[in-house]
Structures are given as structure tokens and as C-alpha cells.
Amino acid sequence: MATSVQEARYILLYLGRISFLGVDYVRDRAKPQFLANKDLTDLEEINKCINRTKYVVGEVEAMHKFHKYRTLKKAYDREFQLVNDQFNVETFNLKDNNDNMNQKS
């Protein structure tokens, strides 16, 4: 069972190394979680933690793929570049949009 926990930890660190988050970001968040659960002896609880780690691994992989996709799309898709060039963050305010929706009602 210990090798499975170690494998999960190493997979998380590897994903941190290849993702845009960086290994330090992933390590700083994963290490306290692993240390908090180091004294678990119940197999059911250990498996629950391993399944949670597998879920996090899937989420980090998905974020990595999405970030890679967006980067390539920004580089090669002319229409995407035009939409992003016309978008002005300063004029877009969530509070203003909520006020506009309330006025329509």
C-alpha cells in the first residue's frame, strides 16, 4: 500500500513540474495533505485518500491540457486573437452587469 501512496505523490510532483503551476506550487499544497494523513492505519481511509489524490491528479492533468490548448489557440487562431484583442477588462465589470440585469427585471 505504501508504494501506491508514494506513486501518487511522485505523479503529483511530476505533473507540477510539467504544468504551468510549477513544482513548488504543487509541493507546497500536497506535502501538508500527505503529512496530515501519514498516521492512517485503516485501509478504507487510506484508499479514500488515494482516490482523492487520483482525482486531483486528473484535475491537474486537465488544467495542463486546457492551458496547452489555450496557448496553441492564441498562437494560431486569428479569430480568437481578434476577440481577445477587442475585449477590455476595465469595461467589463460583474457588478455593472448585475445592475443591468436587475434594471431589466
Q: What parts of the chain have a pLDDT lower than 70?
A: 1-3, 83-105
Q: How far is CA 14 from CA 27, 38, 45, 89, in A?
A: 10, 21, 25, 34
Tell me which residue range forms the domain holding 66: 2-76
pLDDT digits (tens, 9 = 90+) for 24-45: 888 898 889 889 988 888 999 9
pTM of the model: 0.62
C-alpha 78/C-alpha 44 separation (Å) is 52
Longest dimension (CA), the chain: 59
pLDDT given at position 89? 56
Whether residue 51 is contained in a domain is answered as yes
Whether residue 69 is contained in a domain is answered as yes
C-alpha 61/C-alpha 12 separation (Å) is 10
pLDDT given at position 1? 35
Whether residue 41 is contained in a domain is answered as yes
pLDDT given at position 17? 86
Whether residue 105 is contained in a domain is answered as no
pLDDT given at position 97? 52
As for how many domains the chain has, the answer is 1
Grid coordinates given for 88: 477590455
pLDDT given at position 44? 92
C-alpha 10/C-alpha 91 separation (Å) is 44
